[in-house]
Amino acid sequence: MRKVLATVSTAAVVVVICLGGWLLFAPAELGGATRYAVVEGASMEPGLQRGDLVLVRGGGEPAVCDVVLYRDPALGVRVLHRVIRVEDDRFVVQGDANDFVDDARPRPSEVVGSLWFSVPRAGSALLWLQVPLHAALLAFALTLVALGGGSARTGAREELSET
């Protein structure tokens, strides 16, 4: 009976952790509140480096000094820069390493969200995995580890049962 209760308790904890993780980290494309981006330029150095993975969350209006992700219509890309002031209901944004202010003046509705946190160099790893050959190599290596690890455990059990 204790084993059953322990198993049910463990399963409940795992479900709660998974649900909490989903609520925190689910991508916006799947109904979550988090957007992901990879830093490609050097405009936010030294705080954010090329290849960093940034997690951006919406909700609430950004304030001066917040780092925001917005779509620049002139460039046709998403830009992650800091709000330096607000003028006429628009944000004036600038990269930390830039000595000029961005031409784009996004409205609050055009801002995807504010920087939640970043993971150094994780974006580079994700970009590396987008190459099909790299993804296949990783899958092959993980399969070898999984198959090799399973036979090693089986062998250890056999040795114990023989003595």
Q: Is residue 137 part of a domain?
A: yes
Q: Is residue 51 part of a domain?
A: yes
- The pLDDT, as a whole number, for residue 106 is 94
| Whole-angstrom Cα Rg for the chain | 23
Contacts of residue 61, Cβ cutoff 8 Å, sequence gap at least 6: 108
163 and 87 fall within a common domain: no
57 and 135 fall within a common domain: no
62 and 104 fall within a common domain: yes
Per-residue pLDDT of the chain (163 residues; tens, 9 = 90+): 778 777 888 888 988 998 888 878 888 888 888 999 999 999 999 999 999 999 999 878 899 999 999 999 888 899 999 999 999 999 999 999 999 999 999 999 899 999 999 999 888 887 787 788 988 898 899 898 888 865 555 544 545 545 4
- The pLDDT, as a whole number, for residue 31 is 82
Q: What 3-state class would DSSP assign to 101?
A: coil
107 and 141 fall within a common domain: no
Give the chain's domain count: 3
Distance CA 145, CA 65 (A): 46
- The pLDDT, as a whole number, for residue 98 is 96
45 and 109 fall within a common domain: yes
Q: Is residue 65 part of a domain?
A: yes
- The pLDDT, as a whole number, for residue 112 is 92
Q: Is residue 105 part of a domain?
A: yes
Distance CA 43, CA 45 (A): 6
109 and 146 fall within a common domain: no
114 and 136 fall within a common domain: no
Q: Is residue 154 part of a domain?
A: yes
DSSP 8-class letter at 70: E
63 and 90 fall within a common domain: yes
89 and 115 fall within a common domain: yes
- The pLDDT, as a whole number, for residue 59 is 75
52 and 109 fall within a common domain: yes
CATH number of the CATH domain containing 70? 2.10.109.10
- The pLDDT, as a whole number, for residue 149 is 64
The parent domain of residue 148 ranges over 131-163
Q: Is residue 126 part of a domain?
A: no
Among residues 31, 42, 33, 107, which one has the least CA distance to residue 73? 107
48 and 107 fall within a common domain: yes
93 and 55 fall within a common domain: yes
